[in-house]
Structure 1
Amino acid sequence: MIFMTNRHETNLAVTEDALKKKRGRPKCFDEQQVLQKAMLLFWEHGYEATSISDLTQALEITAPSLYSTFGDKEGLFYRCVDYYLAHEGCPIDTIFVEAKTAKIAVELYLYDIVKRLVQPNKPAGCMVVVAAMNCSDATQDVQQNLLDKRIKTKEKLLKRLQQGVEQGDLSSHAPLQEMTDFYTTVIQGLTIQARDGASSEQLHKVVGHAVKAWTLF
Structure 2
Amino acid sequence: MARNVEFSEEAAVQKAMEVFRRKGYSGASLRDLTDAMQINSSSLYNTIGDKRELFVRCIRSYTKASREEALLHKANHTSPLQGVISFIDAAINNIASNNNCMVIKMTFEIAGTDPDVKALLRQANEFAHTFLLQLIKEAIAQNELREDLDAETATNCIINAFTGWHESYILHQDTERIQKMAHYLIAQLTP
Q: For this structure pair, what is the TM-score category when the shorter chain's length is used for normalisation?
A: 0.7 to 0.9
Aligned to 1:71: 49
Query: Once the 2 structures are TM-superposed, how far is the Cα of residue 48 of structure 1 from its aligned partner?
Result: 2.9
Other structure's SS at 2:25 match: coil
Query: Once the 2 structures are TM-superposed, how far is the Cα of residue 136 of structure 1 from its aligned partner?
Result: 7.6
Larger Rg belongs to: 1
C-alpha separation in 2, matches of 1:181 and 1:85: 19
Aligned to 2:30: 52
C-alpha separation in 2, matches of 1:43 and 1:89: 18
The answer on 1:175 being equivalent to 2:153 is: no
Aligned to 1:156: 131
Matches within 5 A, 1:99-110: 99-110=77-88
Aligned to 1:184: 159
Q: CA RMSD in A?
A: 2.6
- Identify if the C-alpha distance between structure 1 residues 194 and 69 changes in structure 2 by more than 3 Å, giving closer, same or farther: farther
The answer on 1:131 being equivalent to 2:106 is: yes
Listed one character per residue, the Cα deviations across residues 155-212 of structure 1 (whole Å, up to 9, x for unaligned) are 1111111222444544554211111111112122122223334232222121111111
The answer on 1:95 being equivalent to 2:73 is: yes
Identity of aligned residues (%): 23
C-alpha separation in 2, matches of 1:201 and 1:165: 28
Structure 1 gaps, min length 5? 1-20
> Would you say the 8 A contact 2:74–2:83 is kept in 1?
yes
Query: Once the 2 structures are TM-superposed, how far is the Cα of residue 37 of structure 1 from its aligned partner?
Result: 1.5
The number of equivalent residue pairs is: 191
The answer on 1:143 being equivalent to 2:121 is: no
Listed one character per residue, the Cα deviations across residues 43-95 of structure 1 (whole Å, up to 9, x for unaligned) are 11112332323312332322221122113323212322343346677821111
